[in-house]
Amino acid sequence: MSAASFGKVAVLMGGRSAEREVSLMSGSGVLKALQSRGVDAHAFDPAERDLAELKKKGFRRCFIALHGRFGEDGTVQGALELLGIPYTGSGVMASAIAIDKVMTKRVWIAEGIPTPRYALLRRGDLGRERVIGMPDELGLPLIVKPAREGSSIGVAKVQGYSEMQGAVEAAAALDADVLCEQFIAGDEVTCPVLGTGDTARALPVIRIVAPEGNYDYQNKYFTDDTKYLVPCGLPEGEEAAIQALVLKAYRVLGCRGWGRVDVMIDATTRKPYLLELNTSPGMTGHSLVPMSARAAGISYEDLCLQLLASASLDQEGVPA
């Protein structure tokens, strides 16, 4: 598609989630890339402007560079469906399921896709006895995280019983549902996907080597100490097997456009366990989808154009 054929494009960035800062970085990069290729692209922050303005101001497409709640969870997608404005990434249902790590696990387990064992704690069920029993159920160390946050916000690795209460309370401050998850020791990798349905393809796997194995918010976005290995250097056949598994996981959730799946590989058994699927991945200078795309011969600018060209609606062809 030519740049002119996209019409007036809104790059949705910022928003109201805990990942606002990262979203602004992602959106700024996307905006600059699209404008450099002649696209009539404009920044649009839903935290500062009503989405109804998109229709009034004549926007024809939206590139969603929002992360987390109120952007990656189906809410904005639903509003754009009502407005009849095509948007990048997954639709309402897939976005709503993927943002919820527990719902994602339930679907994957039903489809035979391996994911770490887990237990769900709800805000009204955080008594000391229940919380302190999690290590007996899942082993130590274990991971505690909010069920619906991204960018490792609120995630804690619990090494002992005494750390459980504090970790759960910190996660519960961010979300009514707290996910306690079996810790998988081994290689941490991620695999992006581009496309929809049978035409979707997995990009090269990236192996992540973070300082002291701690790939937290700071090490994701604001330091240069984390190493990203592409090619990933995994044993022969493992990368292809992970790509096939990731494609299956992406398709069963009904995702479209693009996404990224985070995976842990058990150091002893070499079995991969899928952690979560991001339907609006980061596009910052430290982000992984552009890095993987570059290894596949796709520049940042071309990636942005390709994603914009894939913008669509769940209810394609239905009058708004």
Taking residues 67-93, what's their average pLDDT?
97
| 3-state SS, residue 118 | strand
Dist. CA 5–CA 28, nearest whole Å: 22
Pair of tokens at residue 41: 């692209």
Cβ atoms of 64 and 89 closer than 8 Å: yes
pLDDT tens, 136-148?
999 999 999 999 9
pLDDT tens, 89-120?
999 999 999 999 999 999 999 999 999 999 99
| 3-state SS, residue 276 | strand
Pair of tokens at residue 305: 């154009």
pLDDT attached to residue 217: 55
Taking the alpha carbons of 159, 165, 170, 175 in that order, is the dihedral positive or negative?
positive
pLDDT attached to residue 151: 63
Dist. CA 231–CA 205, nearest whole Å: 7
Return the active site residues. Answer: 19, 151, 221, 260, 262, 276, 278, 282
Cβ atoms of 192 and 288 closer than 8 Å: yes
pLDDT beyond 90 at 300:
yes
Strands 177-182 and 142-146: antiparallel
